[in-house]
Structure 1
Amino acid sequence: MRRIKAIMMFELKRIFQKPQSYLLMFGMPLLFTFIFGALFSSDSEPKPNIVVVDEDQSTLSKALINELESKNIMEMSIENAVNASAKFDDQKVTGYIRIDDGFEEQVLNKKIPDITFVYSPSFNGAKMIEQVINDSMVKLRIVASASNVYQEVTGDSWKGAQEKITSELATSDGIKNIPITKNKELETMNNVTARSVGFTIMFVMITLLISTGVFLEARQTGVWYRIMSTPTSKKEILIGYLLAFFLIGWIQFGVLMLVSTFVFNVNWGNILGIFVLVSCLLLCTIGLGLFIGGFVRTSEQQSVFGNLIIVSTCMLGGVYWPLEIMPNVMQQMAKFVPQYWGIEGFAELAVRGGTIIDVLAPSGVLLTFTMVFLIIGMTRIRFE
């Protein structure tokens, strides 16, 4: 036991004596989280600036404008046709919507009214605004038809009925959103939380990959020969190094979790669930490092190939961007990389308010990866 402890402490001192280790282990993950998460994250994206030209100046044209404003997807202003065209030509606005004269009469006569939407070909949100205009028109035509029926039945002005119906629709609750979560305080994984989780996983994997390269480095420098000339067995050597790698990973993960909690306000979730999930993720990463080490000859080769594998699988696993934006084929392929299951586990804890029970499935998959990596890696590592 003393030999195992001595090997473990030696490796811990070796990794933390290097100043660059602190930059890689703590500085880079926090910087990446800030850049990809905090810096470019906002609750709402910039809205397009759209001008409305109301040439009809009627009750229904104003109702349409109010309906478009209520959608809150664009910054709207009212201008005449000349000013709207000039601002668009000068690229001061994204586009303009023109409601032609006779709009109200066409709606009341159950005809399709003339509405023109002018925008730049480079505006990617045009289809969304077109859909909003069409939806608003459908709603307006229904209200106008109901108002006409009201006027025919009661003899009162249709305008009063139209205003009342529109007001009722505007104040109704509409669709009720019900997030699926086990904890009411944790309803969404915002961009900062997602990127903090992802980059913590990535840089812990990179650190442990470099650490596991000590096996190849020790064989290159002849350290194995000196250690094995002592009463220390191969089993003790392996256990000592594996414990050192495990502790290095936990120290790095723990510090990053603590800092991100206070700096980025990240809620990581249930403590016991975190302990189980992180431990399984660290074991899997150690196994991956030994697996790669079994197929290369030098620690430099392991670093090059290992970083390439980790960065590419992090991209596939959802570290850099949400999996939802990827094609379905890529989403299915992501299930074959450990990072996917790590992020899934943290989503259960940090978003859905899950407990240790909820991370048993992703932890089990990570342990399966671990067994495969360790069995193949340990059979290929040579001490001599």
Structure 2
Amino acid sequence: MWYKLGMSIKKELLLLKRDFGGLIILFVMPVILVVTVTLIQNSSYQAISDRKLPIILVDNDGGSIADTIKKQINASGTFEWIDQIDGQAITEETAKKAVNKGTYQMALVLPAQLSADLKVKIDQNVEKILEEFSMATANVDIDRIVTDKEIHLYFDPATQNSFKEGIKNAIDRMIAQTENQLIYAAFQQSLGEGTAPLVGSVKDFIQFKEMSPLLEQQPIKPNSVQHNVPAWSLFAIFFIMVPLSINMVKEKTLGTQVRLLCNPTPTYVLLAGKTITYLLICLLQFYLIVLVGRFVFPQLGLPQFEVQGYFILLSIMTLFAGLAAIGLGIILGTLAKTQEQSSPFGATFVVILAAVGGVWIPVFAMPELMQYVSKLSPMNWALSGYYDIVLRNGSLLDIAPEIALLFLFFVFMVIIAILYDKRKRAV
């Protein structure tokens, strides 16, 4: 059996060697794409759609400030806040885990006693101002020490930096507006309808601190390279379904398949030969793009793609992504009757999978319907696995669901192809 498997692999390599130009395209095309797209996206602002994004809001304050923030979030037209997951109240720890898994894009954690301490701080500042005009009311303990407050922001590690900055600026404006309203209210309460200069502003009392949702608190800053290297590697990997299906169609039209079936060689050996051969191509494609991201990108002024500590997991993820692509190529080559059917359909289908799977546009920025559709794309499963490894410091256990989906997809495609081929030959 091993001899037959080796001969099957040799046959596939010979077929690829005869189409040397097509083989070069499989390696040159993704390199050009990943360099071009990364250069374009590196400094561009990734706009989000008009739909409302859910924000996890952990309200440890329970006061007027929290109520105002909730109203302003809802009134913003961009966000909506949630404080429960599956009917359970959300804590800062559960919010951190949910954001780290990519279930939600961000979480906003309000500290305890925010409203009460902010009011005290404002009253102290107002009292100091009134003292300068000999109008002090002596109703406020100006010597009471009030600690500054930090509103913690958690972002999904896969979130674009430009999106994060836009979110932080929007929430910063909400908080600043709330603070200003309280300051004016305090002066109006003390001076009636009069006004006074706002000396001693409390604008720095509430500070924002972006927190890492990673359990190890590893400082990972997402960038365009961390998205484009795995994304366009997947595009190249899935594009192998085109030459694979074309070669299978050639075998049928030239009579090679009939001669192979006349030999005492099981079908699974022939399929295993194709699978091993094209898996090697997938790994070579991925390693080539990784080398470009690691050594060429810094020369172009782009961030370097880091693989230290992730190389083995990335290779495992690539193997199973390659299996899914090979499964598609096998079933396409089985169903297609001519090269004119397999080639354009395969290329178009890869483009559709890439668009739906989040290679071009992040899934969270898609309309709600397309977000559900994206979950059907094997390219999306693989991309999520890459994100878990590179951005979320995931382990083999964390990417096990994506690996299982990709492997089952491969098995399902191969079974359908075998059953269809047997039925066609039996007629």
2:257 matched residue in structure 1 = 224
**How big is the alpha-carbon RMSD for the aligned residues of Structure 1 and Structure 2?**
3.4
Q: Distance in 2 between matches of 1:286 and 1:350?
A: 24
Q: Distance in 2 between matches of 1:354 and 1:36?
A: 26
Q: SS in structure 1 opposite 2:389?
A: helix
Q: Distance in 1 between matches of 2:364 and 2:318?
A: 24
Residue 315 of structure 1 deviates from its aligned partner by 0.6
- Percent sequence identity over aligned pairs: 20
Residue by residue over 1:147-195, the C-alpha shift from the partner in whole angstroms, topping out at 9 and shown as x without a partner, is: 677889xxxx954xx23224xx23x461322232255445343223212
Q: SS in structure 2 opposite 1:177?
A: strand
Q: Number of matched residues?
A: 294
Specify every segment of 5 or more residues in structure 2 that has no aligned partner in the other structure, as ranges: 48-167, 298-303
1:262 aligns with 2:299: no
1:333 matched residue in structure 2 = 373
2:394 matched residue in structure 1 = 354
Q: Distance in 2 between matches of 1:247 and 1:332?
A: 32
Q: Distance in 2 between matches of 1:260 and 1:295?
A: 37
1:42 matched residue in structure 2 = 43
1:236 aligns with 2:237: no
TM-score of the two chains, using structure 2 as the length reference? 0.60
Q: SS in structure 2 opposite 1:165?
A: coil
Residue by residue over 1:191-246, the C-alpha shift from the partner in whole angstroms, topping out at 9 and shown as x without a partner, is: 23212211110121112432243221111112234445666554433322222122
Q: Which moved more, 1:360-369 or 1:182-191?
A: 182-191
Q: 1:303 is aligned with what amino acid?
A: S
Check conservation: 2:235, 2:350, Cα contact below 8 A: yes
Structure with the greater alpha carbon radius of gyration: 1
1:251 matched residue in structure 2 = 284
Residue by residue over 1:292-318, the C-alpha shift from the partner in whole angstroms, topping out at 9 and shown as x without a partner, is: 223221233112112222211211110
Residue 362 of structure 1 deviates from its aligned partner by 0.8
- 2:199 aligned to 163, 170, 180, which one? 163
Residue by residue over 1:45-88, the C-alpha shift from the partner in whole angstroms, topping out at 9 and shown as x without a partner, is: 89xxxxxxxxxxxxxxxxxxxxxxxxxxxxxxxxxxxxxxxxxx
- 1:174 aligned to 207, 222, 241, which one? 207
1:29 matched residue in structure 2 = 30
- 1:321 aligned to 361, 373, 383, which one? 361
Check conservation: 1:284, 1:367, Cα contact below 8 A: yes
Q: 2:375 is aligned with what amino acid?
A: K
Answer 1 or 2: which has greater helix percent: 1
Q: SS in structure 2 opposite 1:332?
A: helix
Residue by residue over 1:21-43, the C-alpha shift from the partner in whole angstroms, topping out at 9 and shown as x without a partner, is: 35422222122222322223228
Q: SS in structure 2 opposite 1:163?
A: coil
Question: Equivalences for 1:97-116 in 2 at 5 Å?
Answer: none
Distance 1:236 1:142, change over 3 A: closer
Q: Distance in 2 between matches of 1:272 and 1:129?
A: 39
Q: Distance in 2 between matches of 1:270 and 1:226?
A: 44
TM-score of the two chains, using structure 1 as the length reference? 0.66
